Amino acid sequence: MKKILVTGGLGFIGSHTVVELQNEGFEVIIIDNLSNSKIEVLDNITEITGIKPKFHQLDLRVKSDVKSFFDTNKVDGIIHFAAFKAIGESVANPLEYYENNIGSLVFLLQEMRDRNIDNFIFSSSCMAYGTPEKLPITESTPSNKAASPYANTKQIGEEIIEESCNSYKMNAITLRYFNPIGAHETAKIGEFPTGTPQNLIPYITQTAAGIREQLSVFGNDYDTPDGTAIRDYIHVVDLAKAHIVSLKRLLNKENKKNFELFNIGTGKGSTVLEVITTFEKVYKKTLNYKIVNRRPGDITAIYADTEFTNKELGWKTEKTLEEALSSAWKWQLKQK
């Protein structure tokens, strides 16, 4: 049984990936510092899969702790989620973002180099493309300047990984996610937004649940069919499965280059109003929302070209936007 280290394995995407790994027969070791996750997630994963993953509460910024972890644990691959992810916070405090997102990455790669550990999967974002010049975005679209320190940590992180792959003969895959949403069908794991949600789906479900009074739609004067901005919303379980396919590609040595990049999206863009209308089908009521000004820093549209990922990685999304929104709503109802 292959042993896989999942950093940030109690977080939103991490926990769903741990479930899929265990379903596929991998032995999972989680590292998480609980900075943006809850320890109960470990029990919830265990309830879903019937297997309790090994867990180490550890901060990857502490190099000596990272070293001691690898002194006592042998792994066949690493999926690296542990990172900060709030864009506004990264603008307010860039150095925290560089220390956490880049520092930890470097420590992990150093251990991989020193112990000949191979097979690294990196959790990246479509924001690493910068503002796109042409849509949909293919993997060969050149990256523009990152719009925030957060996005920059993904761009720089990928460069560090690519250079390490070239110099130390490692193999890595970076996955550029579009907008991950939804929750596990059991509603035992999902996303816990801290404080007021910044993202669209948690804001919608909290409004429907009566926690927020009204959703603000940020701008209806964009150059799109209904004037609201377009994103590519992907069900988190589909996204989690992309990690399993990527991991197997590396373990089976099917990768074509030692550093590969894939878009992980549905290929379909939806406007904010389309998301609201689809949610209303699931909710069976109308949602209280108003149109307000654009949110600074938002772009008009971004969605994936999925052809390369579909063909080369042999993965594509299976779930619809409605299924994703329905799972998010089921999860929200369990939080009350």
- The letter for the amino acid at 269 is G
Site for ligand UD1 in 216-245 (CB under 6 A): 216-218, 229, 231
Give the shortest CB-232-to-ligand UD1 separation in angstroms: 7
**Least Cβ distance, residue 192 to ligand UD1 (angstroms):** 13
d(CA 178, CA 270): 12
Phi then psi for residue 264, to 5 deg, are: -120, 90
Which residue numbers are catalytic? 150
Residue ranges with strand state E in 156-292: 172-177, 179-181, 215-218, 230-231, 233-235, 259-264, 270-271, 289-292
In whole angstroms, how close is the CB of 325 to ligand UD1 at the nearest point? 13
Site for ligand UD1 in 283-322 (CB under 6 A): 295, 298
- Contacting ligand UD1 within 78-137 (CB under 6 A): 85-87, 125-127
Q: Which stretch binds ligand UD1 (CB under 6 A): 159-167, 198-206, 305-313, 321-329?
A: 198-206
Min. distance of Cβ 57 from ligand UD1 in angstroms? Answer: 24
Q: How many residues make up the chain in this entry?
A: 336
Quick check: 73 binds ligand UD1 (CB under 6 A)? no
Closer by beta carbon to ligand UD1, 55 or else 97: 97
Q: Give 260's DSSP letter.
A: E
Stretch that binds ligand UD1, among 114-122, 184-192, 215-223, 240-248 (CB under 6 A): 215-223
Q: Is 199 in the site for ligand UD1 (CB under 6 A)?
A: yes
Contact with ligand UD1 (CB under 6 A) among 198, 220, 277, 310: 198
* Strand 270-271 relative to strand 230-231, pairing: antiparallel
Residue from 200, 208, 239, 276 binding ligand UD1 (CB under 6 A) = 200
φ/ψ of 67, rounded to 5, equals -60, -50
Least separation, in Å, of the C-beta of 204 and ligand UD1?
8
Interacting residue ranges for ligand UD1, rule: CB under 6 A: 85-87, 125-127, 178-179, 198-200, 203, 215-218, 229, 231, 272, 295, 298
